[in-house]
């Protein structure tokens, strides 16, 4: 260091001496030490900036000292201005600055160009808080472009690598990815699209993987792109599905650039990798798939598509197909098959379990009093209760299938109408189509013992029956195609459709009604059933039953009725039929859900009809004032409905509006339920309650709903901070309650009491909790239900859902027939295979509901809040 100081001191002194020699009296200027650090990055990694500021100042001063430039501008010695030290024009040595500028210009964009830029086409909570959005990148590119223009010789470089993390729901909307790729100045060399395990549709379920390829055929990549990559990630035990998907993608997927260049992949362009990560995300520990406590093993395949110049820019290519993993593919079972797939870390800690507790320890230790530990639920059925469930399915299917056979003109002989016979007929069906089922019943009626009805060869025979004008069936024609009255040929599919869309005459209901009379249904109920069914078509009957199930597991729906009737199968069946009729009479699925909040808003705007205007005003008033709303969950994961009792004013709304509002809130809650949670919690906030707030009809209606119309859907009813005056009211309400419902009531007074059932972070601040959320009603968008008008898509999805339901019936028939209810038991491996196929069918049925949901259900407050997700995140 001393030597360095000596050298620079000597150089500086020489320059100073030269200046003094020509009469100069000023000293050399020094760069201010402080300014070198105050406005610049410390650059501590550079050896130069590791030197003291004084030394750096000496270095810079020496490099920038002025001198006589005699190379171009020497003065003639015979001039006035020539003298020692002024033999030429003086200039400052700027080589250092020019070098710095050149380095600056050549490296300024390198961090931007070399960095991997990550984008997230996902829900907001699935991206880092600091992630770059498309809009932010657009602004960033504009800023860089403007800066480049201000600097002579600077050009915007290409971005080396862009990675897009995308959920399938976002990727399937091609405009989202195209918006990013079409940004001005956005010229990446490599684009990688990463599909993580949780980005697939219904990733948490055991249904085969599926990727819609619409975006592949639509999106055009920038001209700068030289390679397109895709990461397909899944839990390691499902690697066979990823292998299948990548094999098909390599063979059949192609991409295009905007200049027409085609990108293809080959088997050599596939790379396999594995990694181990945490099993906790979204504040849930996913114990079902843990390889080790708190860890999940992942399997990743990366495919690279490269330009194929030999195809040319105008090559006509086949469309890239959807990637659908077949049901037959073999995959490993979940490492930890239990009654629930995930749990919150807080619940693990609350159960005094160590952080590394095994899934088995968690399953048996956590919340033993909750539904997880209770028998009689999906995934936790004793052999006796599973038998009861099968018996209820038999009791439901047998009369309905016999009735449908009669409706389609098929008269089964008496020895073919028993449960055993009907399920044997169903087991002959190999394809889930109405034609195949009808064909099987026709064969049975004709005494034909041949098997393997597939619905194709038998399609015409199955549908050859022709409907008469009153909906009865004429079997006179054996010709699969019959001339219509206008001279055109009527197809067999059309004939089946005609029958499905015609109301069923009462005489066709006689067999079904006779079987229903053997139950404990009262005559008044039977009369109502007959009246309603005779006003419906077979298609409407099936659709109403599907709407009753919605996104629920069908087994869970039946188990609710069994638990409500204490496992008496006959009584559970009667209750279920009554519930079916109640939904039709109350128009839950025909008016309340399709109309919803937007319909009410339109009613308030129609002053020409005061009755309708009043209905809409009364309904919306309750939503706007926040009389009841959904927010948060209790300690068992149940969604919580908070009811602010003090807001209610008796007589302010009609009884019809109150009941419609109550059903609307309950149906919203149903959409929030997901296995293993099957019930909700109601929190009645009695703060400020007075007798002026009490009205018995809506209270009785709520009780009726949870006893009869929505059995076993209420998990807990909390009455919080009730004043003494309510004790007298409670004495009147308590006798109206079924003992099962009454047993779920809990009174709480303080925040400590309430915290026993709801964690403080899920309790709003006005009740003493820490959640600072505030209810605010979001008005409906006039266009939010526009999909209801897309009848073509709606009908297509409805047909898919009906077909999926039929497949579920066939799988249930196999489950019942091969597990010792109607036949001898099958071997253990066959039973496992049958159960797996049935589980897949149930998962597809739930997925199909979420596809049809926006076409048949009006959007609600919870949709606008973003609280209802179609089980895609």
Contact assessment for residue 254 and residue 348, using Cβ atoms and an 8 Å cutoff: no
Q: Which residues pair with 489 in a beta bridge?
A: 483
Residues 38, 35: Cα–Cα separation, whole Å:
5
Q: What are phi and psi of 355, to 5 degrees?
A: -60, -30
- Please write the tens of the pLDDT for every residue from 261-290: 999 999 999 999 999 999 888 788 888 888
C-beta of residue 724 within 8 angstroms of C-beta of residue 690: no
Identify which has the larger pLDDT, 39 or 257. Answer: 257
Distance in angstroms (rounded) separating the CA atoms of residues 715 and 682:
8
Is residue 400, in this structure, part of any structural domain at all?
Answer: no
Q: What angle do CA 763, 767, 772 make, to 5 degrees?
A: 55
Asked whether the beta carbons of 107 and 152 are under 8 A apart, the reply is no
Q: What is the pLDDT of residue 441?
A: 75
Q: Provide the pLDDT confidence category of residue 654 given band limits of 50, 70 and 90.
A: very high
The reply to whether 317 falls in a domain is: yes
- Please tell me the distance from the alpha carbon of residue 111 to that of residue 624, in angstroms, as a whole number: 51
Peptide bond into 238 cis (omega under 30): no
CA-based angle 851:857:858, to the nearest 5?
A: 125
Do 50 and 163 have their domain in common? no
What CA–CA distance (Å, rounded) separates 776 from 763?
17
Q: Is residue 275 a part of any domain in this protein?
A: yes
Report the chain's terminal Cα–Cα distance, integer Å. 62
Q: Are the beta carbons of 619 and 660 closer than 8 angstroms?
A: yes
Report the 10 Å Cβ neighbour count for 527: 11
For residues 396-415, give the mean pLDDT.
70
Question: What tokens appear for 749 in the block?
Answer: 């007074």
Length of the chain: 873
Please tell me the distance from the alpha carbon of residue 218 to that of residue 226, in angstroms, as a whole number.
Answer: 18
Return the top range by mean pLDDT from 216-230, 301-315, 352-366, 727-741.
216-230
Measured from the Cβ of residue 822, the count of other Cβ atoms closer than 10 Å reads: 19
Phi first, then psi: what are they for 234, rounded to 5°? -155, 160
Residue 793: pLDDT above 50? Answer: yes
Q: How big, in percent rounded to 5, are the helix, strand and coil portions of the chain?
A: 50, 15, 35
Residue 176 belongs to domain spanning: 106-324
Predicted TM-score (pTM) of this structure: 0.56
Q: What is the pLDDT of residue 826?
A: 62
Residue 631: phi and psi, rounded to 5, are -165, 130
Least confident range of 8-12, 249-253, 538-542, 683-687 = 8-12
**Could you tell me if 148 and 285 lie in one domain?**
yes
| pLDDT mean over 673-683 | 89
What the block records as the tokens of 850 is 């979420």
Residue 501, helix vs strand vs coil: coil
Q: Clarify whether residues 792 and 717 are in a common domain.
A: no
Domain-terminating residue out of 451, 486, 502: 502
- The answer on 116 and 84 residing in a single domain is no
Query: Would the pLDDT of 465 be above 60?
Result: no
Is 541 among the domain residues?
A: no
- Give the mean model confidence (pLDDT) for residues 722-732: 87
Q: Specify if 519 maps to a domain.
A: no
Chain segment 525-583, per-residue pLDDT in tens: 788 777 777 777 776 777 778 888 888 999 999 999 998 888 888 888 888 888 888 99
Q: Are residues 159 and 269 in the same domain?
A: yes
Q: Show the tokens assigned to 319.
A: 């469309």
Q: Is residue 511 part of a domain?
A: no
In a domain, 315, yes or no: yes
pLDDT at 82 over 50: yes
CB-based burial of residue 156 (10 Å sphere; 0-12 exposed, 13-18 middle, 19+ buried)? Answer: middle
pLDDT tier for residue 483 given thresholds of 50, 70 and 90: very low
Q: Centre a 10 Å sphere on the Cβ of residue 449 and count the other Cβ atoms it contains.
A: 8
The stretch 425-452 carries a mean pLDDT of 70
The predicted pLDDT at position 814 comes to 84
Give the list of residues 6+ apart from residue 677 with CB closer than 8 angstroms, or none: 371, 636, 637, 638, 639
Quickly count: other Cβ atoms within 10 Å of residue 72's Cβ. 8
| Domain finish residue from 502, 518, 541 | 502
User: Which segment of 543-552, 716-725, 760-769 scores lowest on mean pLDDT?
Assistant: 543-552
Give yes or no for a contact between 453 and 468, defined as CB atoms under 8 angstroms apart: no
Phi, psi of 220 (to 5 degrees): -115, 130
Query: Beta-carbon neighbour count of residue 827 at 10 Å?
Result: 9
Same structural domain, 370 and 458: no
Same structural domain for residues 456 and 379? no
Give whole-number Cα distances, 169 to 121, 122, 175, 868, in Å.
9, 8, 12, 15
Question: Domain check: are 727 and 635 in the same one?
Answer: yes
> What total number of domains does the chain contain?
6
Q: What is the dihedral of CA 575, 576, 580, 585, to 10 degrees?
A: 10
Q: Which helix (H) or strand (E) holds 218?
A: helix 214-218
* Phi and psi based region of residue 602 (left: phi greater than 0; alpha: psi -120 to 50; beta: remaining): alpha
Whole-angstrom Cα distance, residue 586 to residue 663?
Answer: 10
Task: Read off the pLDDT of residues 315-351 as tens digits, 9 standing for 90 and up.
Answer: 677 899 999 998 777 777 666 644 467 788 887 887 7
Q: Is the dihedral of CA 569, 575, 579, 580 positive or negative?
A: positive
Return the higher-pLDDT residue of 171 and 362.
Answer: 171
Same domain as 292, residue 156: yes
> Is the per-residue pLDDT at 390 higher than 50?
yes
Inside any domain, residue 596? no
- Res 467 pLDDT > 50: no
Q: Residue 276 has which token pair?
A: 């181990």
With beta carbons less than 8 A apart as the criterion, state whether 288 and 338 touch: yes
Cα separation of 864 and 349, whole Å? 34
- Where is pLDDT greater, at 776 or 329? 776
* Cβ atoms of residues 557 and 545 within 8 Å: no
Question: Pick from 475, 502, 529: which residue ends a domain?
Answer: 502
Both 178 and 53 in one domain: the answer is: no
DSSP string spanning 591-607? IIHHHHHHHHHHHHT-T
The pLDDT of residue 485: 41
Segment 796-825, tens digit of pLDDT: 998 888 888 888 888 888 888 764 444 455
Cα separations (Å) of 700 from 74, 393, 528, 711? 109, 31, 23, 15
Q: Do 316 and 419 sit in the same domain of this protein? A: no
Name, of 85-89, 608-612, 866-870, the range with top average pLDDT: 608-612
Phi-psi region of 485 (alpha: psi -120 to 50; beta: other; left: phi over 0): alpha
**Residue 494 clears pLDDT 60, i.e. is over it:** no
Residues 240 and 112 reside in one and the same domain: yes
Q: Each residue of 106-141: pLDDT tens digit? A: 777 777 778 888 999 988 888 888 888 888 888 888
Q: What is the pLDDT of residue 871?
A: 62
- Domain holding 756: CATH number? 3.40.525.10
In this structure, what token pair is assigned to residue 542? 């099936």
């Amino acid at each position: 260091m001393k030597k360095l100081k000596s050298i620079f001191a000597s150089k500086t002194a020489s320059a100073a001496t030269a200046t003094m020699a020509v009469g100069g009296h000023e000293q050399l200027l020094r760069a201010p030490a402080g300014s070198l650090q105050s406005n610049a990055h410390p650059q501590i990694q550079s050896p130069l900036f590791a030197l003291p500021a004084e030394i750096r100042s000496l270095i810079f001063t020496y490099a920038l000292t002025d001198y006589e430039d005699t190379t171009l501008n020497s003065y003639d010695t015979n001039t006035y201005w020539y003298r020692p030290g002024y033999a030429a024009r003086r200039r400052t040595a700027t080589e250092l600055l020019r070098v710095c500028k050149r380095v600056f210009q050549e490296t300024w964009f390198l961090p931007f160009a070399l960095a991997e830029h990550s984008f997230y086409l996902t829900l907001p909570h699935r991206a880092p808080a600091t992630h770059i959005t498309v809009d932010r990148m657009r602004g960033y590119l504009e800023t860089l472009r403007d800066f480049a223009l201000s600097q002579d010789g600077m050009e915007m470089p290409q971005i080396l690598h862009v990675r897009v993390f995308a959920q399938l729901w976002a990727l399937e909307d091609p405009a989202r990815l195209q918006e990013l790729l079409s940004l001005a100045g956005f010229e990446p060399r490599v684009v990688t699209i990463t599909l993580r395990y949780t980005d697939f549709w219904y990733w948490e379920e055991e249904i085969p993987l599926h990727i819609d390829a619409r975006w592949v055929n639509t999106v055009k990549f920038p001209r700068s792109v030289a390679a397109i990559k895709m990461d397909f990630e899944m839990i390691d035990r499902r690697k066979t599905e990823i292998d299948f998907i990548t094999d098909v993608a390599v063979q059949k997927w192609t991409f295009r650039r905007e200049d027409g260049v085609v990108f293809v992949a080959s088997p050599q362009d596939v790379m396999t990798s594995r990694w181990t990560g945490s099993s906790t995300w979204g504040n849930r520990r996913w114990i079902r798939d843990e390889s080790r406590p708190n860890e999940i093993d992942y399997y990743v395949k990366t495919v690279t598509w490269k330009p194929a110049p030999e195809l040319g820019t105008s090559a006509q290519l086949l469309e890239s197909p959807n990637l659908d993993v077949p049901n037959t593919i073999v995959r490993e079972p979940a490492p930890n098959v239990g009654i629930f797939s995930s749990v919150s870390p807080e619940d693990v800690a609350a159960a005094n379990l160590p952080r590394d507790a095994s899934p088995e320890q968690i399953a048996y230790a956590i919340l033993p009093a909750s539904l997880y530990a209770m028998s009689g639920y999906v995934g936790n059925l004793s052999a006796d209760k599973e038998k009861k469930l099968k018996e209820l399915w038999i009791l439901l299917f047998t009369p309905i299938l016999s009735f449908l056979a009669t409706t389609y003109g098929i008269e089964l002989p008496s020895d073919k109408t028993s449960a055993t016979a009907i399920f044997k007929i169903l087991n002959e069906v190999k394809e889930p189509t109405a034609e195949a089922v009808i064909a099987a019943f026709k064969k049975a009626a004709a005494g034909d013992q041949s098997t393997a009805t597939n619905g194709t060869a038998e399609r015409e025979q199955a549908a050859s029956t022709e409907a008469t004008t009153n909906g009865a069936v004429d079997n006179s024609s054996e010709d699969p195609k019959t001339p219509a009255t206008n001279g055109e040929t009527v197809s067999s599919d059309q004939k089946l459709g005609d029958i499905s869309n015609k109301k069923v005459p009462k005489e066709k209901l006689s067999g079904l009604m006779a079987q229903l009379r053997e139950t404990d249904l009262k005559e008044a109920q039977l009369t109502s059933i007959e009246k309603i069914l005779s006003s419906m078509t077979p298609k409407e009957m099936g659709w109403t039953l599907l709407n009753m199930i919605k996104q629920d597991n069908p087994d869970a729906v039946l188990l609710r009725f069994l638990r409500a009737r204490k496992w008496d199968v006959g009584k559970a069946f009667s209750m279920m039929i009554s519930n079916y009729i109640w939904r039709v009479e109350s128009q839950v699925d025909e008016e309340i859900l399709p109309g919803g909040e937007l319909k009410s808003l339109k009613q308030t705007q129609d002053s020409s009809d005061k009755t309708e205007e009043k209905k809409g005003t009364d309904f919306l008033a309750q939503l706007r004032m926040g009389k009841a709303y959904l927010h948060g969950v209790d300690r068992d994961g149940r969604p919580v409905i908070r009811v602010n009792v003090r807001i209610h004013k008796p007589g302010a709304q009609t009884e019809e509006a109150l009941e419609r509002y109550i059903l609307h809130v309950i149906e919203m809650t149903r959409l929030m339920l997901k296995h293993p949670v099957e019930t909700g919690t109601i929190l009645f906030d009695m703060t400020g309650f007075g007798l002026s707030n009490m009205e018995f009809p809506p209270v009785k209606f709520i009780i009726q709903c949870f006893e009869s119309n929505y059995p076993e859907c209420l998990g807990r009813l909390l009455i919080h901070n009730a004043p003494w005056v309510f004790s007298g009211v409670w004495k009147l309400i308590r006798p109206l309650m079924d003992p099962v419902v009454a047993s779920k009531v809990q009174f709480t007074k303080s925040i400590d009491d309430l915290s026993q059932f709801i964690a403080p972070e899920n309790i709003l601040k006005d009740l003493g909790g820490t959640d600072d959320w505030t209810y605010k009603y979001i008005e409906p968008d006039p266009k939010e239900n526009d999909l209801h008008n897309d009848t073509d898509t709606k009908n297509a999805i409805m047909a898919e859902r009906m077909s999926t339901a039929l497949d579920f019936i066939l799988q249930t028939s196999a489950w019942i027939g091969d597990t010792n209810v109607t036949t001898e038991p099958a071997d253990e491996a066959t039973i496992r295979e049958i159960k797996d196929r049935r589980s897949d069918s149930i998962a597809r049925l739930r997925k199909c509901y979420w596809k049809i949901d926006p076409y048949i259900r009006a959007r609600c407050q919870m949709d606008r809040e973003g609280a209802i997700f179609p089980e895609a995140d």
